[in-house]
Structure 1
Amino acid sequence: MALKKHIPNFITLLNLASGLVALVYAFNNNWQMAFFWVCMGIFFDFWDGFFARTLKVSSPIGLQLDSLADMVTSGVVPGMAIFQMLAGIAEMQAELNLESDNFYLGLLPYAGFIITLGSAYRLAKFNVDTRQTNSFIGLPTPANALFIMSLPVIQAYSDGDGVLFELLSNPYVLVAISFISAFMLNSNIPLFSLKLKYFNWETNKVQFSFLILSILLLFFLNYLAIPLIIILYVLVSLVTNKLWHKA
């Protein structure tokens, strides 16, 4: 029993460790590896709660530790990602001697940390919000982190051309994404949870259907599927919530 109760917390610490590794890669603009380690952190985040429930060793410490790990993996890392993207744009503009914009572009990168602030507030609110035991209200930090971390990877794969590259190279688009991200994290939009309590179709048909569709999108669209999946997640939640209310 003494060893069993530490298993979920150990998995949570693996989430935190993954976030720290992702942070180093993000700082060095290695976006593919940063994305990979954020995914690893989210993977561990999925299983720590599952094992805590399965082994019946849930604890207040585990809840707090989970939020602290998520704060790094799904809060600090995506904030750093947008900071680095904006800093790269500012550096490029400085090289072109666009001095009239240098001052503002030098400040803009810090707008990326609006995501980090929004994530911190959401995680604190989540810990005391009893409405979010079986579902989410507002976009979960892992889903938001996947959305944000996919952006620099998509930009890198755009080979410096196309509409997506132009959009993701626009500093004001990235700042707008940061504000929208913080808003979605703390909105009152009800969203279904992907953390499964039981592995059966009847109680998890929405989750399983969504996961199957997500896998298909990933297979056909690769990294481009990530932001589409997150948008789809919000839309499916809105539709299912309306259907449940009507029923």
Structure 2
Amino acid sequence: MKKHIPNLITLLNLFSGCVAVLFAVHGNLEYAAYFVFLGIFFDYFDGFAARMLHVQSELGLQLDSLADMVTSGVVPGVAMFQLLQWSTGSVMPENSGWDHLLIGEMNFLPFVGLCITLASAYRLANFNIDENQTSSFIGLPTPANTLLILSFPLILQFQNSDSMQHLVMNKWFLLILTALSCYMLNAKIPLFALKFKTFGFKENAIRYIFLILSVIMLITMQFMAIPLIIVTYVLLSLLTTVLKK
């Protein structure tokens, strides 16, 4: 019975992702983000449960990637599609359902946002066959990339900053962010994983430092902290690589 527990948690990730897709398609990126956060929570703990129960399996690995493809692949692509629509004035946030997509009247620029979904699919497929990513990552993990993308609608919603509002609603910023996202997902950059095999400080120093910095930034900057947390994650990983060499 216990061998099914991690897979059940993975399916909860998939369910959360499906709900997030429904919200994202209708332009409700706030609730889409909440369900993505829930899905990523399940995504972390399915692997943790598998390791704790010693029931890791090939089925679990494949199921995990399929669930991530929805929660951390489809959702950020649709979210960027919506953000690009808003930034170009194609449609206002309150009318973001896809009923208005009529051939001949649509703006094709927002579809560039779906490149994030394509890059996520390529990364997840490559991850499953790459034996060098068992204890660390090469390229930005899809959940981290999704947190980055979904943080911007929350910044728009809750951070009362005119400069951030103008930045997030700038189509060129969003296009650059899309390109950077696609690149980082598949870049040959080694990044540490937040997987604790033991809880000793010495062997997990970089993870504890990252978590402490993340908590401090979240408390002081709220949702604006999320992009900085992702940048910190990449910089700490690069620093770790340099120190090892």
Do Structure 1 and Structure 2 share a fold, with TM-score over 0.5?
A: yes
Q: Report the RMSD for the aligned CA atoms in angstroms.
A: 1.8
* Structure 2 residue identity aligned to 1:141: T
1:206 corresponds to 2:194: no
Determine the C-alpha separation between the residues in 1 that align with 2:32 and 2:173: 22
CA displacement 1:90-139 (0-9 Å, x = unmatched): 34589xxxxxxxx8980111011110000000000000111111111100
Q: Distance in 2 between matches of 1:213 and 1:89?
A: 32
| 8 Å contact kept, 2:29–2:153 | yes
1:77 to 75, 78, 96: 75
Distance 1:232 1:104, change over 3 A: farther
Q: 2:55 aligns with which of 40, 57, 69?
A: 57
The answer as to whether partners of 1:115 and 1:181 remain within 8 angstroms in 2 is yes
Name the SS for the 2:137 alignment partner.
strand
Secondary structure of residue in 2 paired with 1:185: helix
Per-residue deviation, 1:244: 1.1
- AA matched with 1:182: C
Deviates more, 1:73-82 or 1:84-93: 84-93
Q: Aligned residues, how many?
A: 234
Which secondary structure state, in structure 2, belongs to the residue aligned with residue 136 of structure 1?
strand
Q: Distance in 2 between matches of 1:108 and 1:12?
A: 34
Q: Deviations over 1:130-151 (max 9, x none)?
A: 1111111100000000000001
Contact map agreement 1:12 1:66 (CA 8 A) in 2: yes
Which residue identity lines up with residue 116 of structure 2 in the other structure?
I
Q: Secondary structure at the match of 1:200?
A: coil
* Runs of 5+ consecutive residues of structure 1 not aligned to the other structure: 95-102
Output the CA distance in 1 between the equivalents of 2:9 and 2:239: 34
Name the counterpart of 1:222: 222
Distance 1:239 1:53 in 2: 28
CA deviations over 1:183-204 (Å, ceiling 9, x no partner): 0000001100012222222221
1:89 to 77, 81, 87: 87
1:149 to 2:147 alignment: no
Over residues 46-77 of structure 1, what are the superposed CA-to-partner deviations in whole Å (9 max), with x where a residue is unaligned?
11111111111111111000000000001100
Q: Quick check: 2:17–2:39 contact (8 Å CA) kept in 1?
A: yes
Q: Supply the AA of the counterpart residue of 2:60.
A: G
TM-aligned CA deviation for residue 211 of structure 1:
0.6
Unaligned runs of 5+ in 2: 93-103
Structure 2: distance between partners of 1:29 and 1:223: 19
The code of the aligned residue for 2:244 comes to: W
Separation of aligned partners in 2, 1:116 and 1:157: 26
Q: Which residue of 2 aligns with 1:197?
A: 197
Shift of 1:86: 1.3
- Overall identity of the aligned pairs, in %: 52
Q: Which residue of 1 aligns with 2:65?
A: 67
Return closer, same or farther for 1:104/1:181 CA change in 2, 3 Å cut-off: farther
One-letter amino acid of the counterpart of residue 69, structure 2 = M
Q: Give the drift of 1:30.
A: 2.3
**Cα distance in 2 between the residues matched to 1:26 and 1:195:** 30
After superposition, residues 9-88 of structure 1 pair within 5 angstroms as 9-88=7-86
Contact 2:159 2:224 survives alignment (8 Å)? no
Task: Tell me the TM-score normalised to structure 2 length.
Answer: 0.90
